[in-house]
Amino acid sequence: MNNSENELKIYTYPDRVLRATAEAIENIDEDLQKLVDNMIHTMYLAPGIGLAANQVGELRRVIVFDLYPRKDGRDPRVLINPEIVLSEGKVASEESCLSVVDYSAEVSRNAQVKVKGVGRHGKPMDIEAEGLLAICLQHEIDHLNGTLYIDHISSLKRALYKKRLKKKLKEK
């Protein structure tokens, strides 16, 4: 596998593709399988624990994730057309994002979620999650809906980040 050929560009804030809503996937075809493989490859290279199709410029409802990508026996998982069907509790934790460069913030999310979708070969999946997995799933599904984790922080913190980013972009 040629690394550069299979690595996808990760779009960063404020790119408009990150604010778009991804389309439901009707057909699980060879094209989608190639996208999934390239997303997994890109996620590991980044390195990250999750990646949504929006982040690589594809407006399709698919996410990939692996909570422990640096350990032996990587276990990349794929979820197509994921949907949170149940959620409860609250938890706050530090989040960062491959599309929001050089910034992390404490975000409040649901402590437990149940997510429905289909796997990469069309098999229906139900995932009941808590802890890091619940946070990761909510974060990636947010991407598919055009929402970034910085939308969940205070307007003051968001404004400070935007100001710092604007200055950094001007320096380039």
Which single residue is written with the structure tokens 């320096």? 171
* Catalytic sites, residue numbers: 140
Handedness of CA 114, 130, 58, 41 (dihedral sign): negative
Q: Mean pLDDT across the stretch 28-35?
A: 97
Q: What is the mean pLDDT of residues 98-122?
A: 96
For residue 3, the SS3 value is helix
Helix (H, G, I), strand (E, B) or coil at 111: coil
pLDDT digits (tens, 9 = 90+) for 62-90: 999 999 877 777 899 999 999 999 999 99
| Confidence band for 61, pLDDT divided at 50, 70 and 90 | very high
Q: What is the pLDDT of residue 2?
A: 46
**Fold classified for 3-171:** Peptide Deformylase (3.90.45)
Q: The pTM is what?
A: 0.93
For 137-158, what is the mean pLDDT? 96
* DSSP helix/strand/coil, 91: strand
- Least Cα distance to 141 among 71, 99, 82 occurs for 82
Calpha distance 116→126 (Å, rounded): 5
